[in-house]
Structure 1
Amino acid sequence: MRRLPNSLYRAEQVREFDRMAIEELGIAGAELMERAGKAALHALREAWPRARRIVVLAGIGNNGGDAYVVARLARAAGLEVRVWQVGDGARLKGDALRMARFWREAGGETAAYKPGLDLGGTDVVVDGLLGIGLNARLEGDWADAVRAINDSHAGVLALDIPTGLHADTGCVLGCAVNAQLTITFIALKQGLFTGAGPRHCGQIVYDDLRLPPQVLMSQAPAVSRLTFAGVAHLLAPRRRDAHKGDFGHVLIIGGGAGMGGAVRMAGEAALRVGAGLVSIATRPEHAAAISAARPELMCHAVSKVAELRPLLAKADVVAVGPGLGQSRWAQALLGAVLDNDLPMVVDADALNLLATEPVQRKNWILTPHPGEAARLLNTDTKAIQADRFAAVKALQQKYGGVVVLKGAGSLVAAADSPLALCDAGNPGMASGGMGDVLTGVIAGLLAQRRTLNSDPAQAMLLATRLGVSVHARAADIAAKEDGERGMLALDVVDALREVVNPAQF
């Protein structure tokens, strides 16, 4: 086992790696199963060192073969092991059949699965039912076995992928195992890291089964994991003679009736990541309160488009949407923004308004959550979550620029660039205002684009990837302090300064 790599692959790519190892490199399939089983048992013993009673549920494919290896090795290590065969054991073949025979020859017993099985009293359940080839909704004994695992109250180790989770999309096919630990083999599957994947996988560990590096290098990754370590170099210390003009002027537009807090949080986030100047354009009734709460924000009362135009003329970057609403005022201000050529970040109700009259442009960043993404693509949230990778690609193709599809495993898409996935962050971010903070973070970093890259399009992509990563890392720091439940958006803002100064002095 090793640190998680940054490359994510589709199931068909992983199957090709497996074929190459066996057919081109001459590594026997049985040897790969032995390696997988040994790695899985090691992971189990590390996660549950006091476990003594192990139940293994084995399917009829290669995933089941891995499970039989785990059972045999666990029994040899002195653990009490019970194996249940799910599916017709007569259909076992090849290496999986061989591993089932080795288990029996070692003195192990296999019982045919019966619906309604009670797994209570077990320390750890090993899910070796179905692997990455699953494409259909679980039914019958398979679904019943998943429910039995989830009802067991035992620790759950999933082999390669939790049964019921789609390896490519991260969606649940009817029902899925809730694992506390998933050990995945050969290469990381993209569906483990977004959608329902994080909820069902628990902690993910990885073992490449000692395949030579050239196997994985034979194909380009489908997606790259976006890690803070991979983007932290963009946050180099500033020159000692720097001044505020070096770091850009952000204009944030929003704060419709009753929503002044949203635009204030976005503005404060932009300041905290280092924007030189931040102006706020909001409804007159909010201006004084925002100025009093955060005097560093230059807050302007804007009741009509004519009052917005001078502010646009002074800005380097525009962020529009936090608390904007969908009133005539909101529509007029968004129209004025779209009439200029400034790079911009578009979020919240600005996205909902955009969905009614779609346009495409290159120099903007759209940051929808699944509901907003559904409106932008004229579909529903369920369809978006069923394949988030396809959805973010469709959004980018339709609207241009850079698109962030928010949620567990946020995705970043841009033309002619690999998809990026951020698996940092935590459930504490599921509260109001988090999206407004992300808008401000990205806008604030985009305002500093000259320090990122001289090419405008590349700088926009880098600012987005950096912003998503910084936002998630700040949320993880905030959660570590006092826990996830009850975490506020401003708690994340408070952590931003620490994150964007990783090598300070």
Structure 2
Amino acid sequence: MTLDALRPLYTARQVGKLDRRTMAAGIEGFALMQRAAFSAWQVFHERWPDARSLSVLCGGGHNGGDGYIIAALAAQAGLSVECLALKPVAELDGDAARASATAEAAGVDLISWHNDARMAGDVVVDAMLGTGLSGEVKGAYGRAIDAVNRAGKPVLSVDIPSGLAADTGAMLGRAVHADATVTFIGDKLGLHTGQAPAHTGEMVFCPLGVNARAFFDIVPRGVLLHEQQLAGALAPRRRTAHKGEMGHVLVLGGAPGMGGAALIASQTAARLGAGRVSLATAPAHVSASLTRCPEVMAHGVRGGADVAELINRSSVIVVGPGIGQGAWGQAMLGAALESRKPLVVDADALNLVASRFTREQRDDWVLTPHPGEAGRLLGISAAEVEADRPAAVEALRQRYGGSVVLKGAGSLVAGSGGLAVCPYGNPGMASGGMGDALAGMLGALAGQFGMQDDTVRTGVLVHALAANMAANDQGERGLLASDLASCARRLINPRSA
């Protein structure tokens, strides 16, 4: 699966352009609204076939118009419909007014929103606030969102859960918690990162017959990674392949008293197919490494001078897991930076870049910060990073070069080929060592395939999919970083059909 075949992701403004271009090409706006509503109705019917009633909350504009037509379709199908209007029906205009008239003609009573609304339907349809939302949700809309979330009913959100920012995935004060979201025309970047994964539920994309790629001058904001990419990225090895061709990964990490992270990274690198893996760690951790994974060549080192020969023999360096920010860690990172070898930089190595190696910029490294580390690298707070994750990861790449992985729900990858979003992963990954496992995977793949965009995207995909595989096997709670290595190995060695 090539990059061109991946689903493009757009900003709200870009989708607005796609909408207008489509109408200019001859499709009436109300007809497009009907298509959207019918697509949402189909999703509703497929997901909740036994529902006999629904509550539809409608705002103004196109989003509310979609809701009114959904209400009409439900009434025509014999369902009991409660339709609550957040904007007075008399104030609607254009296609939204036409849609409300369609609902009334279908026998739907349009009720003005009130704070005592019961939400009596088996399912709630959220068609309140669309992708144009920019400020914090307040007033009647805020109270309606709170009421939906308190109701405890299944929720279908139309185009986007009300209260989410379409470009960033940030929650604008409050947002609907949907069980499913159906979005139209062009998929939106903010539906797949930030707070969005906790609000969208199952994501369904309906293009409504519009080929967004045909409007080549509207360049997508990013792309959505897909597990099918792995098949093309990880072709079978030649029968004559040998370890010297598969990269020699050197893990620099494990300062005194912090050996576990480096052990996780080195073992994961070995499981991801590196030809050779060396570990430079504090001497006290060598015996633990040999016990854990004797295939890793563990070396006890006391300072930068001790790693010179190991660095010379390596083809890629993973620096940071358990490295600390003291003299030992500074020496390890300094030696790695001086080597000019391709680097994977993680954990406290990122904090040292932010505080002591501030002028570093290079093309042959990948930085893997979580929001806190990203904030330190940019000189802003973690909250500011989370408020606009796409902008943050692109600012990091512009400042430091190379590729950047901003970890978290909907991990973002920024590289020379643009922005990519990983939609996989699960809450079980909220445990220590997950970033160390990712660093080891990235190092192993870089040793085999080179430090390039596709390698980084593949590593992020394998990491998230391996976590899902492990969680599916034994559950999310209690998922350990060391569980990912065996699952990742299965993913990079798919069995032929």
Q: TM-score, normalised by structure 2?
A: 0.96
User: Secondary structure at 2:452's aligned position in 1?
Assistant: helix
1:490 corresponds in structure 2 to 482
User: Secondary structure at 1:228's aligned position in 2?
Assistant: coil
Provide, for residues 407-446 of structure 1, a one-character-per-residue CA deviation record: whole Å limited to 9, x for no partner: 111111123x221111111111111110000000000000
Q: 1:98 to 1:5 in 2, by over 3 A?
A: farther
Offset, 1:208: 1.1
Query: One-letter code of the match for 1:497?
Result: R
Distance (whole Å) between structure 2 residues aligned to residue 56 and residue 217 of structure 1: 36
Provide, for residues 155-214 of structure 1, a one-character-per-residue CA deviation record: whole Å limited to 9, x for no partner: 000000000000001001110000000000111010000001111101100111122566
| Residues 1:228 and 2:227 aligned together | yes
Q: 1:214 to 1:449 in 2, by over 3 A?
A: closer
Greater shift, 266-275 or 229-238, is seen at: 229-238
1:481 corresponds in structure 2 to 473
Q: Name stretches of at least 5 consecutive residues in structure 2 with no aligned partner.
A: none
Report if aligned partners of 1:235, 1:502 keep a CA contact under 8 Å in 2. Answer: no
1:38 corresponds in structure 2 to 38
Greater shift, 213-222 or 27-36, is seen at: 213-222
Distance (whole Å) between structure 1 residues aligned to residue 420 and residue 464 of structure 2: 14
Report if aligned partners of 2:185, 2:212 keep a CA contact under 8 Å in 1. Answer: no
User: Secondary structure at 1:33's aligned position in 2?
Assistant: helix
Offset, 1:332: 1.4
| Residues 1:183 and 2:205 aligned together | no
Counterpart mapping for 1:170-209 below 5 A: 170-209=169-208
Distance (whole Å) between structure 1 residues aligned to residue 108 and residue 225 of structure 2: 44
Query: One-letter code of the match for 1:79?
Result: L
2:55 corresponds in structure 1 to 55
Distance (whole Å) between structure 2 residues aligned to residue 289 and residue 106 of structure 1: 72
**Identity within the alignment, %:** 47
Offset, 1:313: 1.1
Query: One-letter code of the match for 1:480?
Result: N
Provide, for residues 81-103 of structure 1, a one-character-per-residue CA deviation record: whole Å limited to 9, x for no partner: 01000123332110110110111
Offset, 1:220: 2.0
Distance (whole Å) between structure 2 residues aligned to residue 29 and residue 279 of structure 1: 62
| Residues 1:446 and 2:446 aligned together | yes
Offset, 1:59: 0.4
Counterpart mapping for 1:334-349 below 5 A: 334-349=333-348
User: Secondary structure at 1:194's aligned position in 2?
Assistant: coil
User: Secondary structure at 1:117's aligned position in 2?
Assistant: coil
User: Secondary structure at 1:274's aligned position in 2?
Assistant: coil
1:148 corresponds in structure 2 to 147
Query: One-letter code of the match for 2:452?
Result: M
Distance (whole Å) between structure 1 residues aligned to residue 496 and residue 343 of structure 2: 29
Greater shift, 432-441 or 89-98, is seen at: 89-98
Q: Name stretches of at least 5 consecutive residues in structure 1 with no aligned partner.
A: 451-458
Counterpart mapping for 1:379-390 below 5 A: 379-390=380-391
Distance (whole Å) between structure 2 residues aligned to residue 470 and residue 328 of structure 1: 34
User: Secondary structure at 1:147's aligned position in 2?
Assistant: helix
Report if aligned partners of 2:75, 2:107 keep a CA contact under 8 Å in 1. Answer: no
User: Secondary structure at 1:56's aligned position in 2?
Assistant: strand
2:323 corresponds in structure 1 to 324
Query: One-letter code of the match for 1:489?
Result: A
Report if aligned partners of 1:479, 1:487 keep a CA contact under 8 Å in 2. Answer: yes
2:462 corresponds in structure 1 to 470
Report if aligned partners of 2:81, 2:121 keep a CA contact under 8 Å in 1. Answer: no
Counterpart mapping for 1:65-144 below 5 A: 65-119=65-119, 121-144=120-143
Q: Aligned-pair RMSD on alpha carbons?
A: 1.4
| Residues 1:162 and 2:154 aligned together | no
Report if aligned partners of 1:116, 1:144 keep a CA contact under 8 Å in 2. Answer: no
User: Secondary structure at 1:130's aligned position in 2?
Assistant: coil
Distance (whole Å) between structure 2 residues aligned to residue 107 and residue 338 of structure 1: 71
Provide, for residues 123-170 of structure 1, a one-character-per-residue CA deviation record: whole Å limited to 9, x for no partner: 100001011110111001000000011011110000000000000010
Query: One-letter code of the match for 2:487?
Result: A
User: Secondary structure at 2:311's aligned position in 1?
Assistant: helix
Distance (whole Å) between structure 2 residues aligned to residue 363 and residue 52 of structure 1: 58
Query: One-letter code of the match for 1:147?
Result: D
Q: 1:172 to 1:214 in 2, by over 3 A?
A: closer
User: Secondary structure at 1:383's aligned position in 2?
Assistant: helix
1:303 corresponds in structure 2 to 302
Report if aligned partners of 2:6, 2:223 keep a CA contact under 8 Å in 1. Answer: no
1:238 corresponds in structure 2 to 237
Q: 1:440 to 1:147 in 2, by over 3 A?
A: same
Counterpart mapping for 1:18-37 below 5 A: 18-23=19-24, 25-37=25-37
Query: One-letter code of the match for 2:377?
Result: L
Report if aligned partners of 2:69, 2:103 keep a CA contact under 8 Å in 1. Answer: yes
1:455 corresponds in structure 2 to none
1:428 corresponds in structure 2 to 428
| Residues 1:409 and 2:410 aligned together | yes
Q: TM-score, normalised by structure 1?
A: 0.95
Report if aligned partners of 2:322, 2:347 keep a CA contact under 8 Å in 1. Answer: yes
Greater shift, 489-498 or 340-349, is seen at: 489-498
Distance (whole Å) between structure 2 residues aligned to residue 217 and residue 149 of structure 1: 39
Query: One-letter code of the match for 1:487?
Result: L
Q: 1:5 to 1:41 in 2, by over 3 A?
A: farther
Q: Give the total of aligned pairs.
A: 491
User: Secondary structure at 1:144's aligned position in 2?
Assistant: helix
Report if aligned partners of 2:82, 2:121 keep a CA contact under 8 Å in 1. Answer: no
